[in-house]
Structure 1
Amino acid sequence: MKIAIIDYGAGNIQSILFAIERIGFEAFVTNDWNLIKSADKVIFPGVGEASSAMEKLKESGLNILIPTLKQPVLGICLGMQLMCKSSEEGNTKGLNIFDVEIIKFSNEVKVPQMGWNTIYNLKSPLFKGINDNEYMYLVHSFYAPKNSNAIAYTDYETEYATALRKDNFYGVQFHPEKSGIHGEQILKNFLELPINY
């Protein structure tokens, strides 16, 4: 199986590579259109600030490619947010895969949310073998409000969508590669999804 991790200069790629190796798979890192299009699974990571990350995507044209992909695609953290319609962070226009507007936590809570929090109301084969209220590792100041694409929720100041799905596109706000055995199980579930979803 060919697993592509999209490299656009804004991803926490090494830890994802190591996590994939730990569960018995191999992945490659690339920004090559043909390699990404021909992969069986695609992982779209992201760390940093939304508007500068989107500019990096545009430099290589990946903003055009990603929404057209037909195989299972997993956005992680900022990757998931960039797959949405827009983000308040840097007033950024996203890839519009998910019709969701990313907004910022208020100053009533500590921002960013950093550390372990639970996920629940799990609604996808992505969470096979994962129980409600398992802990995942999160670092973020912006979030996806509740919406029709939500497949998992977390509560921090308010209940928000911590995972999204539309067709072959999946997104998780938490870092599965940093979330211990349960996070690795989610990565494994993604890699074992049928390619013809």
Structure 2
Amino acid sequence: MNNIAIVDYGMGNFHSVARALRAAAPDANIEICNTPQGIDRADRVVFPGQGAMPDCMRTLDRSGLRDAVLRAARAKPLLGVCVGEQMLFSESEEGNVRCLDIFPGRVKRFAGPQYASEAGDAGRELLKIPHMGWNRVRQTRAHPLWSGIPDGTHFYFVHSYYAQPDDPEITVGVSHYGMRFTCAVAAANIFAVQFHPEKSAGHGLRLYRNFVDWNP
């Protein structure tokens, strides 16, 4: 049995992620975990997050799950989702807080209302912050979690901040919202995305299924 822990530290759409995972992988044992022991015994870990970064980091520390997440990041397949992706980086402009520092880099805020500039965007549409809705994801290099997902697939985003890695080699997906930004990163046993697979219909479920089958 493939045992998958969804980290429940109080700041994430854990039940939506669990429903999507169960639909994508009915053969797996999906558990929403709020104890270090539950995360430690899992075969793989999903680390979601939503809300303001200072609140997420504070709540993670208060939950007692920070060290368990760090252990998982060193030892087993880990999937970061939305703010869960951002928390893997060194620091965030949102509240100027230190994050988990697994990936060197900084989480930055979109500069503000900008005009669409990507080829194919309609005219000079004013882009609002937060960025919310479906956006195309370009795969910058192959990865097992992209299996069966066409390059240029649309995924669902809700965010005002994006991760900027120090090492561009960990970027595996980019999107465009007034500017090109990293929306998926991967290294060793970690894959993390800014968008919400659980809100992204069939291709989002495919990404979760690929994670369940991934053996880095």
TM-score (norm 1): 0.95
Name 2:119's counterpart in structure 1.
none
Q: Which deviates more from structure 2 when the two are superposed, residues 180-189 or residues 117-126?
A: 117-126
Q: Quick one: distance in 1 between partners of 2:174 and 2:104?
A: 17
Q: 2:144 aligns with which of 125, 146, 149?
A: 125
Residue 116 (structure 1) aligned with residue 134 (structure 2): yes
Secondary structure of 1:117's aligned partner: strand
Secondary structure of 1:89's aligned partner: coil
4+ runs deviating over 3 angstroms: none
Say if 2:11 and 2:49, in contact at 8 Å, map to a contact too.
yes
Amino acid at match of 2:131: Q
Deviation (angstroms), 1:121: 2.4
CA offsets, 1:26-47, max 9 Å, x none?
Answer: 4111121122111111000101
CA RMSD of aligned residues (A): 1.2
Amino acid at match of 2:135: N
Amino acid at match of 1:185: R
Q: Quick one: distance in 2 between partners of 1:9 and 1:183?
A: 23
In the TM superposition, what are the counterparts of 1:1-197 in structure 2 within 5 Å? Answer: 1-23=2-24, 24=26, 25-69=28-72, 70-109=75-114, 110-123=128-141, 124-145=143-164, 147-194=168-215, 197=216
Amino acid at match of 1:152: G
TM-score (norm 2): 0.87
Q: Quick one: distance in 1 between partners of 2:184 and 2:67?
A: 23
Deviation (angstroms), 1:64: 2.3
Q: Which deviates more from structure 2 when the two are superposed, residues 141-150 or residues 72-81?
A: 141-150
Say if 1:20 and 1:26, in contact at 8 Å, map to a contact too.
no
Say if 2:35 and 2:65, in contact at 8 Å, map to a contact too.
no
Deviation (angstroms), 1:122: 4.2
Q: Quick one: distance in 2 between partners of 1:141 and 1:184?
A: 24
Q: Quick one: distance in 1 between partners of 2:180 and 2:66?
A: 29
Say if 2:138 and 2:151, in contact at 8 Å, map to a contact too.
yes
Q: Quick one: distance in 2 between partners of 1:135 and 1:190?
A: 18
Q: Quick one: distance in 1 between partners of 2:209 and 2:135?
A: 21
Q: Quick one: distance in 1 between partners of 2:138 and 2:14?
A: 26
State the percentage of identical aligned residues: 36
Secondary structure of 2:55's aligned partner: helix
Gaps of at least 5 residues in structure 2 are 115-127
Say if 1:4 and 1:30, in contact at 8 Å, map to a contact too.
yes
Q: Quick one: distance in 2 between partners of 1:92 and 1:6?
A: 21
Deviation (angstroms), 1:145: 2.7
Question: Which structure is larger by alpha-carbon Rg, 1 or 2?
Answer: 2
Say if 1:177 and 1:184, in contact at 8 Å, map to a contact too.
yes
